[in-house]
Amino acid sequence: MNTHRIVVLGAGYTGMMATARLAHRTRRMDVRITLVNPSPRFTERLRMHQIASGQELADHRIEDLLAGTGVTFVQGFASAIDPDTREVTVGDRVLPYDTLVYALGSATDTSKVPGADDHAFTLNGIGNAARFADRLAEVAAAGGTVTVSGGGLTGIEAAAEIAESHPGLNVTLISLTEPAAMMGAKARAYLLRSLDRLGVTLKTGERITKVLPDAIEMEGGELVPSDASLWTAGVKVSPLAAGAGLAVDGRGLVVVDATLRSVSHPDVFAIGDAAAVRLGWGEVHGTCQSGMPTAVHVADAIVRRLRGRKDRPFRFGYFHQPVSLGRKDGVIQFTHADDTPGRFHITGRWAVMYKEMVSGSPVKFFRLSKWVNVSATITKGGRATRRPVM
């Protein structure tokens, strides 16, 4: 039997988890695993707001995290996939595969609003977050103003972290809707009080029409002063899958079946933010919480296929919405399987401890997964995931 070649594209949370688990579960098989990523450093996206505020984080090198697994790491950008010849182009190299794991994730989209691409910073990677931190230090020294555009959990965490780390700054969080609208009323009220305590100004109810070098232009014509603009609103995915002819949805996500295999190319699996995953309760949205279980499932699915066993459907349910509010506060909203808010939430120092456990767990999972089978799924959603896909 020929060596089975597995190529994993992307070394984010999902790509790393899939690679580590595959390496462990195929260690006695004739399998060669190659992981492709542009950076040699693993990016802890759950902590990008900390880097953006000027904090230093641990430097986790991908090759160190996978040491002892036999995985080949290739640093570079994947520029093309040829599903007919089953090859991936990375720079001047061509990597053949028998199974491809597509884990390229998503990034903040600055293309929808004029000026955002030119005048706003993003948290798309360590370098971008660090450049914003450098600018933030300059603005803080001058007692200037900062805007964070986007009222999702990323924007909330960034605004809180910036305000706490630089108390002399004027920080404004701009959101079309009320921030943290997905949370229950009590958890959301606590979050809003915490932002107020940190001195964050909220501006809601109007669309942003333009990002200027020194201001944010609102739909009504108002200019919100901004010496440094951080953009966290909206996401986009890599065009690589669509360009390769894989079946994608209107957002460019790879359309997968119940086992997370591409519906058009069965030798390709898609995981995390790159996959359009539907369950009985609805559509999975991109988070580390949902991404890591897709990685575990696909690693196990590939092993089952290699052993000639039947595929199993992916099952998952959300459990929580953890939010840090600086280093000393936080709120955790526990949820139903479909990510709607449940009855319970925790706040304050208990939430801080909980959130730190959540943020630090992926790297621990990677290391453990090299040697044992680690579950990254808190809940499979119970009855909700056994309903037919809508």
Task: With beta carbons less than 8 A apart as the criterion, state whether 354 and 292 touch.
Answer: no
Higher pLDDT, 377 or 95: 95
pLDDT score recorded for residue 114: 97
pLDDT score recorded for residue 149: 97
Strand-strand pairing, 268-270 and 99-102: parallel
Task: Return mean pLDDT, the chain.
Answer: 94
Per-residue pLDDT reduced to its tens digit, 223-238? 999 999 999 999 999 9
Regarding the domain with residue range 4-38+76-105+238-316, which homologous superfamily does it belong to in the CATH classification? FAD/NAD(P)-binding domain (3.50.50.60)
Predicted confidence band at 373 (pLDDT cuts at 50, 70, 90)? confident
Average pLDDT, stretch 149-162? Answer: 96
If DSSP codes are grouped into helix, strand and coil, which group holds residue 321? Answer: strand
Residue 75 CB burial class (10 angstroms; 0-12, 13-18, ≥19): middle
- Please enumerate in sequence order all residues whose Cβ is within 8 A of that of 81, keeping only pairs 6 or more positions apart, or say none: 9, 87, 88, 89, 100, 240, 241, 243, 244, 246
- Same fold flag, 4-38+76-105+238-316 and 109-231: yes
Average pLDDT, stretch 255-275? Answer: 97
Q: What is the Cα–Cα distance from 2 to 15, expressed in whole angstroms?
A: 24
* CA-closest candidate to residue 317, choices 386, 388, 271, 253: 386
Report whether pLDDT(8) > 70.
yes
pLDDT score recorded for residue 281: 86
To the nearest whole percent, how much of the chain has pLDDT over 70?
96
Q: Which CATH architecture does the domain made up of 109-231 adopt? A: 3-Layer(bba) Sandwich (3.50)
pLDDT score recorded for residue 126: 94
Please state the φ and ψ torsions of residue 201, each to the nearest 5 degrees. -90, 130
Predicted confidence band at 378 (pLDDT cuts at 50, 70, 90)? low
- The residue ranges of every structural domain in the chain are 4-38+76-105+238-316, 109-231
Report whether pLDDT(6) > 50.
yes
- Please enumerate in sequence order all residues whose Cβ is within 8 A of that of 309, keeping only pairs 6 or more positions apart, or say none: none
* CA-closest candidate to residue 315, choices 390, 258, 376: 258
pLDDT score recorded for residue 390: 46
Report whether pLDDT(389) > 80.
no
To the nearest whole percent, how much of the chain has pLDDT over 90?
91
pLDDT score recorded for residue 185: 97
Per-residue pLDDT reduced to its tens digit, 351-368? 999 999 999 999 999 998
Per-residue pLDDT reduced to its tens digit, 193-218? 999 999 999 999 999 999 999 999 99
- CA separation (Å) from 344 to 138, 203, 382? 41, 28, 18
pLDDT score recorded for residue 207: 96
| DSSP H or E stretch at residue 288 | helix 288-306
Per-residue pLDDT reduced to its tens digit, 146-155? 999 999 999 9
Average pLDDT, stretch 14-42? Answer: 97
pLDDT score recorded for residue 380: 60
Average pLDDT, stretch 176-205? Answer: 96
